[in-house]
Structure 1
Amino acid sequence: DSPGGLTFELAAETPLMLIRFNALLEQVNQRYPQATVKMRHWDYDSLDAITRGEVDLGFTGRETHPRSRELLKLMPWFIDYEILFSDRPYVYLREDHPALQETWDLETFLRYPHISIFWERSDTWALDEVLREMGRTRNIAMSLPGFEQSMFMAAQPGHNYIATAPHYCHHYNQLHQRKLVTLPIPIDEAQAQKLTVPFTLIWHKRNSHNPKILWLRETIKALYGSPLR
């Protein structure tokens, strides 16, 4: 019932996972002594890796914009999932950013160069769809592999870049003592709702009753089910 030598394969959005990853490791080691935990960053191929059995469980954000390719309802029929919580993206600026001396509105938001991330083989995401509907675009001056890198660059001195990332990154930045100011994206509520991100556990249906995966799901839910509180 507590076999040694098990391997847990996770594909996860790493800034979120790292916030409480040490606590997860402690619980894995207590429940399954000598287990190995392997974590890879969630990317374009992760869903296929779950299908092939190379990954036990995925943990990542999806999109809710009606034209997004990352909608949960577009998941293959053989994939099961559970939403743990929903979040929204926010803007991150260093403490002496010139935008903080201006009225925080859409004009200010679009006036400065943006740091984007390369997500699911694209530099744009639901925010860019919302802006396009409004007849606007943002200046993506830098594209990086993930939120960790975008937060790091946003905190560096001597530039006017701004980053956009989930609100939970505020906690991640506190852990790393990054002095970043967090602001809402300056759009109305109807448009902001299209940016809601459901953070979701994802697994193959064949693992729905696997004791190891069931235990892992419940453990992650206990650790990450309400990270904004």
Structure 2
Amino acid sequence: MSTPDLNLLITLDVLLAEGSVARAARRLRLSPSAMSRALARLRETTGDPLLVRAGRGLVPTPRALALREQVSQLVQDAQAALRPSQVPDLRRLSRTFTLRTREGFVENFAIDLIARISEQAPGVRLHFLDKADKDSTALREGTVDLETAVVDKDTSPELRTQALFTDRLIGVVRADHPLSQAEVCAAGYAAGEHIGVSLRGLDHSALDQALRSLNLTRQIAITVPGFSTALGLARSSDLIASVPERYTTRLRAGMHSFALPFAVPTFTISMLWHPRMDADPVHRWFRGCLREVCSGKTIDI
């Protein structure tokens, strides 16, 4: 059995609506002969005459009358499916977005993101997952909507990326630490005991290279897996934490932060998503919310 030509549905819809080969031809911008051939194909396909002559016009057969509403709905549904997606009513939207990100991002940006989303789409929920590696399988499989990362050579080339903000490493100590009493010099920074953070994407090697260029080295007293732990230790000791500035704004509340007294390269935090979600209007709206929240942060030391 041959597959029917679905384009004939549009022709049949117009023929049944107009009840005239000539008018249907004009509406579809076809010649009358081309429309007559299309009607012949429809009759052959359906096994019914569909439109028969009555005086000087055409009238639908019972089969045509039975098909008219169904065919009209099919054509409308097909046209709707092929139109660009429209953003639904955000006030009525019910959806959960899953974000995979590093420690510190939730503490620093989630409050503002929740506030912005709740204002526009109160039915949207957020689910944050810890980002332990750069494996993009979850994005590819659709179990994660967005990730944050420093884009590098290991980032999957199939993913879409957009920068959120540029960050830099800064020094952080407890409020009454000796380094909080005066401007910090490179020698004073290096002389203290430091907290190392073992986190992929955070280039502490650049920091140590900068110190070596000044003939200085720092002593790592302890290495921890994340910013929160590093800042927690620094808050209650004489240890020095070196962490990203923008990424840890709220985590550093009540502590003394200072610009590093030597040049260290900055780095850019980006959001990543799978191309399948690129044109989804709700996903695009959510990406815009995240971008606005992150770009709205300005921190000066």
| RMSD of aligned residue pairs (Cα, Å) | 2.9
Match of 2:194 in 1: 114
Counterparts in 2 of 1:122 and 1:19: CA distance versus 1, 3 Å: closer
Cα pair 1:112 1:162 within 8 Å, conserved: yes
User: Going by fraction, where is helix more abundant, 1 or 2?
Assistant: 2
Cα pair 1:84 1:198 within 8 Å, conserved: yes
Does residue 44 in structure 1 map to residue 133 in structure 2? yes
**Structure 1 unaligned residues grouped into runs of 5+:** 63-70
Match of 1:18 in 2: 107
> Which aligned pairs between 1:1-229 and structure 2 lie closer than 5 A?
1-2=88-89, 4-45=93-134, 47-60=136-149, 62=150, 71-72=151-152, 74-100=154-180, 104-120=184-200, 124-131=204-211, 136-156=216-236, 159-168=237-246, 171-173=249-251, 178-187=253-262, 191-192=263-264, 194=265, 196-228=266-298
How far apart, in 1, do the equivalents of 2:118 and 2:223 lie?
37
Cα pair 2:99 2:127 within 8 Å, conserved: yes
How far apart, in 2, do the equivalents of 1:74 and 1:134 lie?
31
Q: Computing the radius of gyration over CA atoms, which structure comes out larger, 1 or 2?
A: 2
**Structure 2 unaligned residues grouped into runs of 5+:** 1-87
How far apart, in 2, do the equivalents of 1:77 and 1:38 lie?
25
How far apart, in 1, do the equivalents of 2:226 and 2:255 lie?
17
3-state SS in 2 of match to 1:44 = coil
Q: CA deviation at 1:219?
A: 0.6
Structure-1-length-normalised TM-score = 0.76
Sequence identity percentage: 22
Structure-2-length-normalised TM-score = 0.60
How far apart, in 1, do the equivalents of 2:117 and 2:222 lie?
38
